[in-house]
Amino acid sequence: MPTGWPRFHSPTWYEDRIAARRFPRIESDRSVRVAVIGAGLAGLSTAFSLLERGHRDVVVLEAGQPGEGASGRNGGFVFGGFSLGPEPLVRRVGLDRARVMQRWTHEAVDRVRGRCAALGVSLDGEGVLLADWFRNRKGLDALRDAIHRATGLELLALDRAQRSAWVCSDRYGGGLLEPGAFHFNPLAYVRALADELDASGLSVHGDSAVERIERAGGGWRLRTRDATVRADRVVVSTGGYDRRLVPRLVRSIHPIGTYVAVTEPLPGRLEALIPGTAAVYDTRFAFDYYRRIGDRLLWGGRISIADRDPDAIEALMRRDVARVFPSLADVRFTHSWGGWMSYARHQMPILGELEPGLWAASAFGGHGMAPTTMAGEVIAEALDGEGDRLEAFRSWGPSWAGGPLGRWTAQASYWAYQARDAIRAWRSSG
């Protein structure tokens, strides 16, 4: 179990769809070039990029099993961009640099797609659709133009009728379709990466929480319950699931929860509501995110600092589903769960060397599938002495996130944004 923070442990729908395999606990001492702490997508992508660069002297230590954190419990949307929106990114680093950084995340989407093909992970559907909750054509056009200006990305604009070919609900106006994006079972992908690393001679250990980390000569010493690992370099990628290992990192990150539920099979009831293959989210700050998986609906939403139990999550998700698809107000859910995202105050990933030999790849927020993959490449390059891309992330280092008060501030701003969205929606319906 990871240290010091509760987790939403209800089983996910994804777990039922992968082969049962437990990665063994580390039981003997090791000396390695690189130790990665945390087998979420950030840690595994780093190890995978190191493998692709020919490095095998790498160990991955995971407190639970690979993908037990956010990476194996998320919505499964793989799309470009960072948690920080495109326009704030431009304001921070200028247009040219922001466009380059955005491009890295879109290249990462292609990289995940390529790895899926190579590892035999199937995709659930193509495209991600941003549906206009506020039914405001002008506002949506302005958003599309702003995204284009800030990223260079051409989203496909759909009017209301065209949007209905993808998702059919009176709740929305038009939509913006991100081509190239896709959705899949994220746990299947995480486990495929872990299997491939293991088969290629890197060690991946489950049930191996790192309890202490300390300097040892020119490198680092990690202690788990049963073993000591000495490493020249350490990459800490524990997301929102560790609350004590590297205090400087812990102080910079808020764990923020979000929830997912999967319905019982609904044969014949979803095709007319979601005729397209795309996954869908909407233009509110606190958006719903959902997708059709066979004859079931996977529904996600909400942002909270509370770790609710499955029944409470189910009740919230049922209410949210009914607002978009009133005909599904009666559906039952077979699975519901939550997960912790990790947010820095600046909403960008924390990537870099905290102290000599101690690296961080964390704080990917709610937009992590592509950026963690990009981060793996950037860290692997930097560990090989090619630090050019890493330099781009220097200005978003670890900074104090405000402690418990900061978490409540994050919750309060979510409520404020929620209220602002409700007022906007009310005005646009009037």
Ligand X SMILES: Cc1cc2nc3c(=O)[nH]c(=O)nc-3n(C[C@H](O)[C@H](O)[C@H](O)COP(=O)(O)OP(=O)(O)OC[C@H]3O[C@@H](n4cnc5c(N)ncnc54)[C@H](O)[C@@H]3O)c2cc1C
**Which H or E run includes 162?**
helix 160-164
* Comparison of 174 and 366: residue with beta carbon closer to ligand X: 366
Q: Which residues bind ligand X (CB under 6 A)?
A: 2-3, 37-43, 61-64, 68-71, 73-77, 209-210, 237-242, 245, 258, 260, 289, 300, 339, 341, 362, 364-369, 372
Q: 102 and 86 in contact (C-beta within 8 Å)?
A: yes
Report residue 49 as tokens.
């990029």
* Comparison of 90 and 210: residue with beta carbon closer to ligand X: 210
* Comparison of 75 and 125: residue with beta carbon closer to ligand X: 75
Closest CA to 198 of 22, 17, 382: 22
* Comparison of 300 and 310: residue with beta carbon closer to ligand X: 300
CB of 2 to ligand X, least distance (A): 4
The rounded distance, in Å, linking the Cα atoms of 47 and 49 is: 6
Give me the residue whose beta carbon is nearest to ligand X.
Answer: 368
The rounded distance, in Å, linking the Cα atoms of 58 and 202 is: 6
CB of 338 to ligand X, least distance (A): 6
CB of 429 to ligand X, least distance (A): 28
Dihedral (CA of 367, 179, 17, 318) sign: positive
Report residue 40 as tokens.
């979420």
How distant is the alpha carbon of residue 106 from its chain centre?
15
CB of 292 to ligand X, least distance (A): 14
For the stretch 292-295, contacts whose Cβ atoms lie closer than 8 Å and that sit 24 or more positions apart, written own/partner, are 292/125, 293/13, 293/124, 293/262, 294/265, 295/265, 295/266, 295/267, 295/268, 295/270
CB of 309 to ligand X, least distance (A): 15
Bridge partners of 37, per DSSP, are 61, 236
* Comparison of 160 and 248: residue with beta carbon closer to ligand X: 248
CB of 305 to ligand X, least distance (A): 13
